[in-house]
């Protein structure tokens, strides 16, 4: 069985700077070497995992490291053309007690210090979605006020089981996004509209602008299907998953994400053109400073 977990923590640290302050958080030790191709491709470890003190990456491209460090979707950045061609293995020691935001800054600082990364922002007209309330009205429920929300590790991923209908199921009171063989579920618990548009932007590959006027937090349970063959090809191309092995199975029937947003949440995605913020890489070295 192949289970693909989506982002359960919807807040991403954005610290796009031309340089890093002297006191910016850094890894205690970081080894960067030219990649030696192995069976596994991607990164593991860090805060909230079973190996919080170690961050390892295998056969990852500089383009992937950049997008991962700054929390960028493909439509949000313009890398240099060769950045997906060079691959590296990384082993870094993470200081005890490192937070999620500090971990993001450490990755950014690593690129600035070792690869001499510089970048800038540009506004660019691009396809966007404007999110409005649908003609038949809102179908999400407002979450009940929580007097003292439980403290929860934002990196933790709830244990997911498989329902009889083939869609993932989250434990009671827990939310997140998960998919299995093309069948995806997004369970929202105490989710704001800001969280919803961020998540939809990432899933749909273009900016989503909130024009609903809705305030407060919401809960919902949404299911849809995706084309897994396209995802597998994309992940393999970006060194996020192995490029070998059997194709992922396809879901036989079900709504698309856009249909699910309309029919199950009572929201509507209106396709338009609008300004979007993009990050442009000005300079980055192909060979990092030695360990």
Model pLDDT, residue 232:
53
Mean pLDDT of the chain, nearest integer: 83
Q: Is the pLDDT confidence value at 110 over 70?
A: yes
CA nearest to 264, candidates 143, 160, 176, 134: 134
Cα(209)–Cα(206) distance, integer angstroms = 10
Model pLDDT, residue 20:
45
Cα(193)–Cα(208) distance, integer angstroms = 11
User: What is the pLDDT averaged over residues 43-57?
Assistant: 92
Q: Is the pLDDT confidence value at 146 over 70?
A: no
Residue 16: pLDDT band (50, 70, 90) is: very low
The region of weakest confidence among 2-6, 8-12, 198-202, 212-216 is 8-12
Model pLDDT, residue 24:
74
The region of weakest confidence among 68-77, 128-137, 236-245, 278-287 is 236-245
User: What is the pLDDT averaged over residues 126-136?
Assistant: 96
The region of weakest confidence among 64-73, 93-102, 248-257 is 248-257
Model pLDDT, residue 268:
97
Cβ–Cβ contacts within 10 Å for residue 53, how many? Answer: 15
Residue 187: pLDDT band (50, 70, 90) is: very high
The region of weakest confidence among 14-23, 162-171, 235-244, 271-280 is 14-23
pLDDT digits (tens, 9 = 90+) for 23-32: 578 999 999 9
Model pLDDT, residue 64:
95
Can you give the three-state secondary structure of the chain, one letter per residue? CCEEECCCCCCCCCCCCCCCCCCCCCCCEEEEEECCCCCCCEEEECCCCCCCCEEEEEEEEHHHHHHHHHCCCHHHEECCCCCCCCEEEEEEECCCCCCHHHHHHHHHHHHHHHHCCEEEEEEEEEEEEEEEECCCCCCCEECCCCCCCCCCCCCCCCCCEECCCCCEECCCCCCEEEEECCEEEEEEEEEEHHHHHHHHHHHHCCCEEECCCCCCEEEEEEEEECCHHHHHHHHHHCCCCCCCCCCCCCCCCCCCHHHHHHHHHCEEEEEEEEEEEEEEEEECCCCCCCC
User: What is the pLDDT averaged over residues 72-80?
Assistant: 89
Which is higher by pLDDT, 254 or 115? Answer: 115
């Amino acid at each position: 069985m192949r289970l693909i977990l989506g982002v359960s923590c919807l807040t991403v640290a954005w610290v796009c700077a031309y340089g890093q302050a002297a006191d910016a958080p850094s890894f205690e030790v970081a080894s960067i070497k030219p990649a030696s191709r192995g069976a596994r491709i991607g990164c593991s470890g860090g805060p909230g995992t079973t190996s919080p003190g170690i961050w390892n990456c295998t056969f990852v491209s500089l383009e992937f490291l950049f997008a991962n460090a700054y929390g960028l979707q493909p439509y949000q950045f313009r890398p240099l053309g060769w950045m997906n061609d060079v691959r590296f293995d990384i082993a870094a020691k993470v200081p005890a007690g490192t937070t999620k935001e500090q971990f993001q800054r450490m990755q950014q600082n690593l690129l600035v210090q070792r690869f001499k990364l510089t970048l800038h922002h540009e506004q660019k007209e691009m396809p966007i979605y404007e999110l409005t309330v649908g003609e038949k009205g809102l179908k999400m429920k407002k979450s009940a006020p929580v007097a003292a929300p439980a403290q929860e590790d934002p990196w933790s991923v709830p244990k997911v089981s498989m329902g009889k209908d083939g869609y993932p199921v989250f434990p009671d009171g827990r939310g997140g996004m998960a998919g299995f063989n093309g069948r995806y579920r997004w369970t929202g618990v105490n989710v704001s509209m800001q969280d919803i548009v961020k998540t939809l932007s990432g899933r749909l590959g273009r900016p989503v602008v909130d024009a609903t006027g809705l305030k407060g937090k919401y809960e919902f349970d949404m299911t849809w299907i995706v084309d897994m063959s396209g995802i597998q090809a994309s992940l393999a191309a970006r060194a996020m998953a192995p490029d070998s092995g059997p194709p992922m199975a396809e879901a036989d029937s079900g709504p698309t994400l856009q249909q699910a947003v309309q029919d199950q949440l009572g929201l509507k995605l209106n396709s338009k053109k609008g300004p979007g913020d993009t990050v442009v890489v000005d300079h980055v070295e192909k060979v990092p400073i030695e360990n």
